[in-house]
């Protein structure tokens, strides 16, 4: 087994009407750590494939009155990525050709040895690993707009990007700091793309989105049976990104009990999966991001000081969009180009540009992109006007860039700005409503009122 597939385990379906073959195959595969379901007939095989996905199936050519060949399309319909290996005691060139024509990946003649089975599974593991890597790269490319975010006329942003380019050539741990929506994820992707690890995986874990147990399992992996629901081994993101980069988004939300384990990995590149005593090693670069004050977290006992020092060997501070006024229209034009998808919209009216420049952008680049996308949907002509912008932006030119209690503005303006900033800093409407002291229905009405 090569380095690329050493952390991968397969979910395997065995379909054979001979009990000894089923048991032998299952034992051989399970001894390698794979999860195996063994059945004796075609109907049970289809039922299992419908119930759960499989990576690999060993299918007997003759299943009583049914041909294993006829089962191939039904299995592939449930799991298109599945590899099917036909096994038979009646091997011939003609039958081998026919199995391949029907969609099988390989062909084994009985009696076969454990070494032959292992060779077949390792071949499938390599293919699956490549597929997952390609899917990850495609997803990362689809999610990024590096040219839009990384080309800046703002001196603070230029300094951050220059430092990112310098640190990319090293394996140093990097901490990205900035408000929500300032492009921390894009910069993390860029550091990986500029590094010698660019051909290896880039994995992301959003720390606030998972409970403590699930986050530990997702990060370090778990052994089958480690906890309720752990029906199969999970290698974890560290193992799957070996040789590459792991991006820990909003690390300030990492549970306190996981912080010593992460500290150990950052220092020594060693860890254990949940429910397993074996110490593992992985060569993974860590990039972390936060929109909160980690030093305050240290003072309050919510974040370990030693971990903070380890993750911020190099710190990059990304300025909010309100401090990059020279970039607002550059970004807006780029988003317009990326999002118009054949629509005849060519640009913005002078009034719309003035409103975009005057607005404070509490949601930063993410909010700007959403505003452009919304305006494109609403605009029936070749120019986006102020009437196509949310209510708060259409009034932005007349309002101060930053409102505060006691400013000579209406309560509605203060409320709108406050709601926008809370929405930009929270991760769901439920969370924002709790912060604001509203129920979700009231928040929805306020958003409709202000065009948020």
CATH assignment of the domain containing 212: 3.40.50.300
- From CA 286, how far away is CA 172, in angstroms rounded? 8
Q: Which residues of the chain have a pLDDT value below 50?
A: 1-4, 6, 139, 142-145, 397-401
Please list, in sequence order, all residues whose beta carbon lies within 8 angstroms of the beta carbon of residue 395, skipping any fewer than 6 positions away. 355, 413
Domain boundary among 267, 295, 319: 319
CB 433 within 8 A of CB 440: yes
Q: Are residues 268 and 364 located together in one domain of the fold?
A: no
pLDDT value at residue 303: 94
CATH of the domain at 59: 3.40.50.2300
Residues 152 and 298 in one domain: yes
The C-alpha atoms of residue 314 and residue 83 are separated, in whole angstroms, by 45
Clarify whether residues 153 and 121 are in a common domain: no
Task: Identify the pLDDT of residue 91.
Answer: 60
- The reply to whether 241 and 152 lie within a common domain is yes
Domain identity same for 157 and 239: yes
| Boundary (domain end) residue, out of 402, 421, 438 | 402
**Could you list the residue range(s) of the whole structural domain that residue 426 is in?**
404-452
pLDDT value, residue 160: 93
- For the entire predicted model, the pTM comes to 0.60
Q: End of a domain among 117, 135, 153? A: 135
Domain tally, the chain: 4
pLDDT at 39: 92
Q: Note whether 277 and 162 are same-domain residues.
A: yes
One domain for residues 36 and 160: no
Tens-place pLDDT, residues 124-171? 888 877 766 665 555 455 444 455 567 888 889 999 999 999 999 999
163 and 300 both lie in a single domain:
yes
Secondary structure letter of residue 319 according to DSSP:
P
For residues 23 and 55, state if they share a domain.
Answer: yes
CB distance 154 to 129 below 8 Å: no
Whole-number pLDDT of residue 96: 65
The domain that contains 434 carries what CATH number?
1.10.10
The predicted structure's pLDDT at residue 322: 87
For 98: left if phi > 0, alpha if psi spans -120 to 50, otherwise beta; the answer is: alpha
Same domain, 410 and 394: no
Residues 86/108, Cβ–Cβ less than 8 Å: yes
User: Does 97 share its domain with 178?
Assistant: no
Give the pLDDT of residue 98: 73
Residues 156 and 304 grouped into a single domain = yes
> Residue 3 has what pLDDT?
45
């Amino acid at each position: 087994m090569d380095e690329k597939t050493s952390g991968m385990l397969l979910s395997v379906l065995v379909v054979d009407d001979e009990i000894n073959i089923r048991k032998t195959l299952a034992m051989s595969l399970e001894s390698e750590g794979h999860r195996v379901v063994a059945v004796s007939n075609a109907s049970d095989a289809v039922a299992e494939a419908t119930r759960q996905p499989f990576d690999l199936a060993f299918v007997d050519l003759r299943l009583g009155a049914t041909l294993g060949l006829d089962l191939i399309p039904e299995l592939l319909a449930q799991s298109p990525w599945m590899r099917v290996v036909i096994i038979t005691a009646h091997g011939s060139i003609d039958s081998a050709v026919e199995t391949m024509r029907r969609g099988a990946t390989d062909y084994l003649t009985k009696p076969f040895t454990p070494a032959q089975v292992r060779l077949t599974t390792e071949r499938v593991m390599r293919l699956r690993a490549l597929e997952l890597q390609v899917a990850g790269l495609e997803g990362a490319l689809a999610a990024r707009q590096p040219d839009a975010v990384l080309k800046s006329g703002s001196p603070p942003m230029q300094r951050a990007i220059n430092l990112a380019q310098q640190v990319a050539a090293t394996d140093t741990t990097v901490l990205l700091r900035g408000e929500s929506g300032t492009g921390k994820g894009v910069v993390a992707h860029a550091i990986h793309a500029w590094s010698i690890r660019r051909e290896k995986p880039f994995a992301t874990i959003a720390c606030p989105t998972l409970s403590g147990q699930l986050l530990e399992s997702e990060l370090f992996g778990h052994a089958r049976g480690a906890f309720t629901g752990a029906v199969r081994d999970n290698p974890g993101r560290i193992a799957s990104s070996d040789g590459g980069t792991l991006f820990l988004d909003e690390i300030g939300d990492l549970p306190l009990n996981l912080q010593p384990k992460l500290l150990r990995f950052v220092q020594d590149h060693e860890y254990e999966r949940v429910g397993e005593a074996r110490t593992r090693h992985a060569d993974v670069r860590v990039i972390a991001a936060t929109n909160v004050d980690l030093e305050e977290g240290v003072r309050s006992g919510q974040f370990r000081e030693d971990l903070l020092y380890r993750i911020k060997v190099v710190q990059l501070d990304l300025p909010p969009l309100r401090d990059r006024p020279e970039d607002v229209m550059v970004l807006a034009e780029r988003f317009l180009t990326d999002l118009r998808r054949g629509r005849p919209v060519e640009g913005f009216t002078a009034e719309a540009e003035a409103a975009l420049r005057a607005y404070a952008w509490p949601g930063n680049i993410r909010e700007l992109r959403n505003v452009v996308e919304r305006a494109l949907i609403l605009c029936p002509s070749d120019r986006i006007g102020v009437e196509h912008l949310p209510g708060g932006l259409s009034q932005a030119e007349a309002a101060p860039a930053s409102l505060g209690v006691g400013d000579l503005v209406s309560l509605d303006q203060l409320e709108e700005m406050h709601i926008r900033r809370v929405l930009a800093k929270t991760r769901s409407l439920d969370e924002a409503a709790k912060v604001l002291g509203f129920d979700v229905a009231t928040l929805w009405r306020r958003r409709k009122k202000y065009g948020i």
